[in-house]
Structure 1
Amino acid sequence: MASLGSSKQLHVAMFPWLAFGHIIPFLQLSKFIAQKGHRVSFLSTTRNIQRLPPSHHLSPLITLVPLTLPPVHHLPQNAEATMDVCTDDVQYLKKAFDGLQHQLTQFLQQNSPDWIIYDFAPYWLPPVAAGLGISRAFFSIYNPWLLAFGGRWFEELIKGSRDRKKMEDFVAPPKLLPLPTNICFRKHEVKWMLDSSSSLNASGVSDMYRSGMILQGSDCMFIRCCYEFEPQWLTLSEESLHLPVIPLGLMPPATTTNVGDEKDDAWVTIKNWLDGQQKGQVVYVALGSEVMLTKTEVRELALGLELSGLPFFWALRQPAGNSTSVELPEGFVERTRNRGMVWKSWVPQLRILNHESVGGFLTHCGWGSIVEGLTLGHPLIMLPFLMDQGLNARALVEKQVGMEIPRNEEDGSFTKESVANSVRLVVVEDEGKMYKAKARELSRIFGDMELQNKYVDDVVQYMEKHTGVASSAMDG
């Protein structure tokens, strides 16, 4: 445990949104803060806390605080995270999440933490914390391009304006961006943006309004990025959000050589298979735990992998909130048995990415997966589906670390040919050498633990310095 020097020990409360893509980075940040000698209270629902990685990895300075998620009509029993529900039912999870306000307020009143670090969702939390004199930080797991893209829109929503509600507002880079960029949404992705600006969901509050109120009520924002990777977008997000934006670094995985138990049965089986493949030829396919592919998408992706002729390892998990089982094309498993493996339960992703047979990563472009892939220097074959993933893909295409699988602009559909061509181009064709070289180049930033740890040190020092100087009232 690091010495605190002359600083007093802080008590920091952490309150992530109910998605494991959010919960895990919050837990990771909790560990960093505890390593500096500060106390952390990590608040989430009972079932989510039970599903965290084994607690023996946690510092004794971290206390897990279970909250009881109130029942909500239409929300399945024991559904406490986005992975437990289909996309259309996340609105009921948000309604239940808002029902945690009383329990959280009681915790803050009784424990008086110095800081609370929260996610985009609890729009009601900043005024509660401000009234108790608690310093407030929004931890954005999203990238600065999404925040810069949406910054002016957040302001409009808070003020009651709905000017940006046409598709044309999103399928081109914002006019006011002072950067040469092609980062924007595709037509098939815009529906989510327009839906998220609407209040017509079960919680009665839009995602954009939530984010806007969080930004307006926070003392600062922590963001999982670094200046060595994206200096211009970080600066732009601070200017557009009118808030101190403090980068946390990329928070890469702590180790890439000893990332699990060698005796783990799943890893032994997977490793034996990978050991039998040609070096740098395997395509690792993983689209996260929450992407729910349609039958057509599963078919085209499977047939594309088959058509590519390359060996592949496909982590094809059944999302918990989806009652229909994932159906692979008839005969696919038999036809690809000698060069493909489809794994339908949890996989040790870091270990797989760290194996010398892997030559490319077909990813949904969730930021955590991208960090892991680029930390290990893998070129990317990008197939984004949700939220910020499309913008992430376009940003990484600009960085030339991979290519995005071509899709129909209107409906987002893709073909087996587009999958096969993209996979082959990145992994084995001459053009892919550039992507591999750029990915290895970026890995020197993503995997520089000394550099990335310095960012976390700076954030903790910022918290030490600014404790107790939070604004005591919300800006009107």
Structure 2
Amino acid sequence: MNSMGDSKKLHIAMFPWLAFGHLIPFLELGKLIAQKGHRISFISTPRNIERLPKIPSNLAPSITFVKLPLPHVENLPENAEATMDVPYHIIPYLKKAHDGLQQPLSQFLETSAPDWIIHDFAPHWLPPIATKLGISRAFFSIFNASFLCILGPSKSSVTNAQEPRTEAKDFTVPPKWVPFPTKIAYRLFEAKKIFENFDENASGVSDWFRLLTIYLGADALAIKTCTEIEGEWLELLGELHDIPVIPVGLLPPPAQESGDSNKDSTWGTIVEWLDKQEKGSVVFIALGSEIQPTQQDFTELALGFEQSGLPFFWALRKKIELPEGFEERTRGRGFVWTGWAPQLKILAHDSVGGFLTHCGWGSVTEALQFGRALILLPFLTDQGLVARFLEEKQTGVEVPRNEENGSFTRESVAKTLRFVIEDVEGKIYRDNAKEMATIIGGKDLHSTYIDKFVEFLENRGRVKEG
């Protein structure tokens, strides 16, 4: 139903970064905007578009997929169009290829003249193009507000008043621009990697340059969060960037969204096993499509699951070498699944009591939607800060790690699992996760956020050139 009455139908272009952790929330947001009667052009590469979930038939006329072929770049494997297709160290070449979409995207924007483009952090070259064409720009962040605040301000007045962060240890304490008490900061082993984001990479620019340019060129910052969870951080974010910050809610996808029909058969096998387990007893383990731990990490994880004595369902993207005899010793109690797994359906199952996660914001909000307590094992840039945020909320506990190199032991994995899932002292985490489900699972609440965002888009419309 069109909520706008007789007002103008907007044409909105959407341009996510080439990662499914970005593509899926962008698509979810696009579907919700289309439900309000607006027209969406969803822009990505051919292979990525083919791998997206199918659009509901009632929205299909309102959403057009625009396929821009990804230019060939040296060191980027053939058919690699998303971060899940390449090892972590190859991602800068994917960014370089993504920058090669500048000309075809410009041509599309010029010929189709959308009212808005909702874009990601990566296309630093986009703001001047859109400005010249009179197209309003919204940066949609799939990262949460606390992460963006800790990362840093774009306003020079804020940075000039602070001591610059020039060494890794400077990132291991909360920055001085955060005016309220918090313990959210990087661990030393994470901070050492952070400099990669501030240094020029193989794409020709740094990730921080991309983000800063996007902040300075956007008319608004839309963000996948809500004030009920990140109120003070959202307020601070607006001050750090001097830009309208609009939370769009957590975009919780419907639990029973089936995805591909040929994948539905896998659910039969999985649910048969889950149905045999006691309520709230199973640890679901999934580290996302982009995380590629070392063999040593995998071994310690596996032996930690074994040592915990808890039932577990471990979803692996690719087959790995498990410790000798591991599957035999854990047979019946543990289930190792290789390939695609229906994460939402698994998290929704009553037998699942906890979720060991890499702390991607999307996965975390999916788990909390069903009140699952979290065992936190972050690997990439934003994930460590998300883990600390969740610890502050007492909805999850982080697996202890070596501060210098980030290594962890089977003992620390087993102890953390038992603490969160069954120990009396861990009950507060289980209770808080259930309480969080009332916020994250509240469809009416998130609908209100979408209404406000769409109202903002409608009122702003096209900007005048110049």
Same fold (TM over 0.5): yes
Aligned to 2:429: 435
Give matches, 1:311-330, under 5 Å: 311-318=311-318, 326-330=320-324
CA distance in 2, matches of 1:111, 1:262: 36
Contact 2:305-2:414 within 8 A present in 1 as well: yes
Aligned to 1:179: 180
**Displacement of 1:164:** 2.6
Give matches, 1:126-205, under 5 Å: 126-152=127-153, 155=156, 163-199=164-200, 201-205=201-205
Aligned to 2:360: 366
Cα 1:402–1:158 change in 2 (3 A) is: closer
Q: Which moved more, 1:52-61 or 1:201-210?
A: 52-61
Give matches, 1:215-294, under 5 Å: 215-254=215-254, 256=255, 259=258, 264-294=264-294
Contact 1:138-1:221 within 8 A present in 2 as well: yes
Aligned to 1:451: 445
Specify the code of the residue in structure 2 equivalent to 1:461. Answer: E
CA distance in 1, matches of 2:123, 2:263: 41
CA distance in 2, matches of 1:155, 1:336: 56
Count of paired positions: 463
Specify the code of the residue in structure 2 equivalent to 1:387. Answer: T
Q: Which moved more, 1:53-62 or 1:395-404?
A: 53-62
**Displacement of 1:429:** 0.8
**Displacement of 1:471:** 6.5
Q: Describe the superposition over 1:75-127 as per-residue Cα deviations: whole angstroms up to 9, x where unpaired.
A: 00000000011010001000000000000000001000000000000000000
Aligned to 2:457: 463
Q: Does 1:4 align with 2:9?
A: no
**Displacement of 1:157:** 13
Q: Does 1:345 align with 2:339?
A: yes
Contact 1:123-1:214 within 8 A present in 2 as well: yes
**Displacement of 1:203:** 1.0
Aligned to 2:36: 36
Return 5+ residue gaps in structure 1 as ranges.
319-324
Q: Does 1:209 align with 2:209?
A: yes
**Displacement of 1:60:** 1.4
Q: Describe the superposition over 1:196-238 as per-residue Cα deviations: whole angstroms up to 9, x where unpaired.
A: 1001x21110000000000000000000111111110000011
CA distance in 2, matches of 1:97, 1:162: 34
Cα 1:244–1:263 change in 2 (3 A) is: closer
Specify the code of the residue in structure 1 equivalent to 2:85. Answer: D
Aligned residue for 2:283, secondary structure, equals strand
CA distance in 1, matches of 2:302, 2:139: 39
Specify the code of the residue in structure 1 equivalent to 2:241. Answer: L
**Displacement of 1:158:** 11
Contact 1:262-1:268 within 8 A present in 2 as well: no
Aligned residue for 1:216, secondary structure, equals helix
Cα 1:423–1:369 change in 2 (3 A) is: same
Contact 2:313-2:335 within 8 A present in 1 as well: yes
CA distance in 1, matches of 2:234, 2:90: 33
CA distance in 2, matches of 1:211, 1:292: 25
CA distance in 2, matches of 1:446, 1:35: 20
Contact 1:154-1:212 within 8 A present in 2 as well: no
CA distance in 2, matches of 1:163, 1:432: 39
CA distance in 1, matches of 2:275, 2:395: 26
Aligned residue for 2:417, secondary structure, equals helix
Specify the code of the residue in structure 1 equivalent to 2:134. Answer: G
TM-score (norm 2): 0.96
Cα 1:193–1:154 change in 2 (3 A) is: farther
CA distance in 2, matches of 1:75, 1:158: 36
CA distance in 2, matches of 1:373, 1:353: 6
Cα 1:78–1:387 change in 2 (3 A) is: same
CA distance in 1, matches of 2:464, 2:298: 50
Cα 1:53–1:263 change in 2 (3 A) is: closer
CA distance in 1, matches of 2:447, 2:37: 15
**Displacement of 1:59:** 2.9
Aligned to 2:391: 397
CA distance in 2, matches of 1:173, 1:158: 14
Aligned residue for 1:230, secondary structure, equals helix
Cα 1:263–1:347 change in 2 (3 A) is: closer
Contact 1:156-1:163 within 8 A present in 2 as well: no
Cα 1:388–1:154 change in 2 (3 A) is: farther
Aligned residue for 2:65, secondary structure, equals strand
Contact 2:155-2:240 within 8 A present in 1 as well: no
Specify the code of the residue in structure 2 equivalent to 1:236. Answer: L
Aligned residue for 2:42, secondary structure, equals strand
Return 5+ residue gaps in structure 2 as ranges.
none
Cα 1:158–1:30 change in 2 (3 A) is: farther
Aligned alpha-carbon RMSD (Å): 1.9
Cα 1:142–1:33 change in 2 (3 A) is: same
Aligned residue for 2:172, secondary structure, equals coil
Q: Describe the superposition over 1:9-46 as per-residue Cα deviations: whole angstroms up to 9, x where unpaired.
A: 00000000000000000000110110000000000001
**Displacement of 1:162:** 11
